[in-house]
Amino acid sequence: MKAMVYRGPYKVRVEEKDIPKIEHPNDAIVRVTRAAICGSDLHLYHGMMPDTRVGSTFGHEFIGVVHEVGPSVQNLRVGDRVMVPFNIYCGTCYFCQKGLYSNCHNVNPNATAVGGIYGYSHTSGGYDGGQAEYVRVPLADVGPSIIPDWLHEEDALMMTDALATGYFGAQLGDIVEGDTVVVFGAGPVGLFAARSAWLMGAGRVVVVDHLDYRLQKAREFAFAETINFTEVNDVVVELKKQTDWLGADVVIDAVGAEADGNLLQHITAAKLKLQGGSPIALNWGIDAVRKGGTVSVMGAYGPLFSAVKFGDAMNKGLTIRTNQAPAKRQWPRLLEHIQAGRLSPRDIITHRIPLEHIAEGYHLFSAKLDDCIKTVITTD
Amino acid sequence: MPYIADEHRRPSSDELRARIPGWGADLDPADRPSVPRERTDLPTGAHWVIPENQPELQPRERSIEHAKLPPVFGTSAPLHGVSGVVRRYAYERFSEARAAHWLLLIVGDRIDVAGSRVRSVFEGQPDNPITETGIRAEFGNHPIGSRFGRGRADTKHAWIDPLIVIGPTALATVAVALIVRGLRR
């Protein structure tokens, strides 16, 4: 089969690999029909996540058709069209029993902080991802769901991570009616977080980024006010000014480890890997939220320490809520929203490219060429 | 007037409901599927107490913060070569709380990349810096219009990025060359 293969920072190629095999009785093999490149894939692509091994295949956003099932699989049949949440989890461990699927303790030998994620380095369990023609789906009775006939395949694809994570980011903010919500980052997850904030009753939604075309999308898709932080002297002061000098009620960090905005932070973190990520967006969030407010973090950070302004967070009495999204917990409600016409997730997709051109897809997305917001990989 | 909480410039709920599709549909936290954060009443489809053990066909590294090897794991790129030695040491010696654990893994990554460059030549699939960097995407995708005249923050560090990315490899190559030359003499 053809699969994207990591060759080192900023280098990927398509190689012939063996079709994955059933390695556990509850595995399924899924023939991938659509995959996506996620913003957090760029952290791997840029060599930021420790233990990203040459030869591994990325891709935690994908949908497909069940090709083979292991002997203990009960809930899926060959031929089922499935969407697969980016989390791999067992469903019964201490954490899964509490619904913390992203923190499953039974699927990731390499680390205890995070559960299993498809194609996300050995730090997340060493699983190959879905930017390939076939992928191994472990614990297939727990993760995948059959795609409803009425659901557009690209909407299903967005459910597997970007939409679920954006919605989750808004949830972590504990938004109440009338709240002023600031979203840092106008990538796919930030756009979905901003849109979700309205569903939860926000009174104002402000999106911050440095790319005009993404801010335009935030205005059109997420009905948000926008700030280009390169056009203001100090984005925190600007946000204070716009919130009667009190600060926002909720700030959502949808940026994560490779935030731009401070050269020193960018070099020490994103380039030299001396921090778990450049915490610029997070620190701006801590500064821009009001005292007693909530900072929601689902932008991805690496496991090393980062120079976070925790003193300010403590002195301001902030609530900081974080996690990887338990994607499948969101699906029933998100399906209702899509069916009711409240959300059309595929509207954020800007580029569709065949798997053979995935190196170009990564470069396009990484370099932010051609107003790229979301790239979908096709395998047929 | 600053500092007065009820002076925020917020539109009314009716106004928002008319303007934003679905505004307030999830006003009730009960309609937000992950609220409360921890729930014990969710069906998962699991029909086990603990999943069966995946066969450990070759020794599988694990964090020493795990009491035992978890029952399910990925095997996409088993440890091998010098990078495998470094990575195994990181897993066997240091917990996730130690910076040494992660820094050794990053060192292992760099060794892995360097080794794979050499190995790929012998395997008849040498790395191609043109095709693998995706640089061909520059053509036809507004390489100049996407970057300039737009106030992008990342253009401020674009000049130094190649140096930082390629620099360590270049320095290592020079160091190896000097060592080899020294040994020959």
pLDDT tens digits, one per residue of A132-141? 999 999 999 9
Q: Do B23 and A210 touch (CB under 8 A)?
A: no
Residue of B nearest to A170 (CA): B32
- Considering all CA atoms of chain B, what is the largest pairwise distance in Å, rounded to the nearest integer? 84
Summarised one tens digit per residue, pLDDT across range A342-356 is 999 999 999 999 999
Contact A130, A119 (CB under 8 A): yes
**Confidence class of residue A212 from pLDDT cuts 50, 70 and 90?**
very high
Average pLDDT over residues A155-175: 97
Q: Do B134 and A108 touch (CB under 8 A)?
A: no
Residue B178: count other Cβ atoms within 10 Å of its Cβ.
10
Q: Which segments of A277-320 does DSSP mark as H helices, in order?
A: 280-288, 310-315
Would an 8 Å CB–CB cutoff place B74 in contact with chain A?
Answer: yes
Could you give the CA distance from residue A72 to residue A26 in angstroms, rounded to a whole number? 5
Distance to chain A for B184, nearest Cα, Å: 31
Residues of chain B neighbouring A123 (CB-CB closer than 8 A) = 105
Helix (H, G, I), strand (E, B) or coil at A239: helix
Give me the pLDDT at residue A179, please.
95
Summarised one tens digit per residue, pLDDT across range B77-134 is 999 999 999 999 999 999 999 999 999 999 999 999 999 999 999 999 999 989 999 9
Closest CB to A90: pick one of B72, B128, B137. B72
Tokens standing for A258? 């490779």
Distance to chain B for A303, nearest Cα, Å: 8
Give me the pLDDT at residue A267, please.
78
Provide the phi-psi class of A128: left if phi over 0, else alpha when psi is between -120 and 50, else beta. Answer: beta
The more confidently predicted of residues A202 and B35 is: A202
Distances (CA, A) of A225 to A208, A345, A379, B39, B78: 9, 20, 37, 35, 48
Quickly count helices (H) and strands (E) in chain A.
11, 17
Q: Which of A242, A244, A323, A339 to mutate to test the interface with B (most CBs of B within 10 A)?
A: A244
Helix (H, G, I), strand (E, B) or coil at B62: coil
Contact A88, A110 (CB under 8 A): no
Helix (H, G, I), strand (E, B) or coil at B172: helix
List all residues 6 or more positions away from A277 whose beta carbon is below 8 Å from its beta carbon: A43, A48, A256, A257, A258, A259, A269, A270, A300, A301, A302, A306
What's chain A's average pLDDT?
Answer: 95
Tell me the DSSP string of B88-145. Answer: HHHHHH--TT-HHHHHHHHHHHHHHHHHHHHHHHHTT----HHHHTTGGGGTTS-TTT
Give me the pLDDT at residue B184, please.
87
Give me the pLDDT at residue A200, please.
98
Q: Which amino acid is at A268?
A: T
Summarised one tens digit per residue, pLDDT across range A278-296 is 889 999 999 999 999 999 9
Whether residue B166 is predicted with pLDDT greater than 80 in this model: the reply is no
Top mean-pLDDT range of A257-271, B73-87, B159-173: B73-87
Residues of chain B neighbouring A201 (CB-CB closer than 8 A) = 13, 23-24, 26-27
Q: Do A50 and B105 touch (CB under 8 A)?
A: yes
Please name the residues between 110 and 139 in chain B that touch chain A, using a CB distance below 8 Å: 112-113, 116-117, 120, 125, 127-129, 131-138
Average pLDDT over residues A141-164: 98
Strand segments (E) across A242-330: 248-253, 289-297, 319-322
Q: Do B106 and A244 touch (CB under 8 A)?
A: no
Could you give the CA distance from residue A148 to residue A83 in angstroms, rounded to a whole number? 10
Does ipTM come in above 0.85? Answer: yes
Query: Which range has the worst mean pLDDT, A312-316, A330-334, B177-181?
Result: B177-181
Could you give the CA distance from residue B62 to residue B72 in angstroms, rounded to a whole number? 12
Could you give the CA distance from residue A15 to residue A330 in angstroms, rounded to a whole number? 35
Contact A372, A188 (CB under 8 A): no
Average pLDDT over residues A331-340: 97
Pairing of strands A180-184, A87-88: unpaired
Distance to chain A for B132, nearest Cα, Å: 5
Would an 8 Å CB–CB cutoff place B184 in contact with chain A?
Answer: no
What is the pTM for the complete model shown? Answer: 0.94
Of A233, A230, A324, A243, residue with least CA distance to A289 = A243
Distance to chain A for B88, nearest Cα, Å: 11
Whether residue A251 is predicted with pLDDT greater than 80 in this model: the reply is yes
- B102-110 own/partner pairs: CB under 8 Å, 24+ apart: B102/A50, B102/A302, B102/A303, B102/A304, B103/A304, B105/A50, B105/A51, B105/A123, B106/A50, B106/A273, B108/A51, B108/B83, B108/B84, B109/A47, B109/A50, B109/A51, B109/A52, B109/A53, B109/B83, B110/B168
Residues of chain B neighbouring A96 (CB-CB closer than 8 A) = 44, 46
Q: Do B40 and A332 touch (CB under 8 A)?
A: no
Tell me the DSSP string of B21-33. Answer: TTTTTT-SGGGST
pLDDT-above-90 percentage for chain A? 89
Give me the pLDDT at residue B6, please.
62
* Residue keyed to tokens 């917001």: A373
Q: Number of CB pairs < 8 Å for A and B?
A: 316
Whether residue B1 is predicted with pLDDT greater than 60 in this model: the reply is no
Residues of chain A neighbouring B26 (CB-CB closer than 8 A) = 196, 199-201, 333
Residue A282: count other Cβ atoms within 10 Å of its Cβ.
28
The more confidently predicted of residues A261 and B45 is: B45
Distance to chain B for A147, nearest Cα, Å: 16
Q: Which amino acid is at A25?
A: P
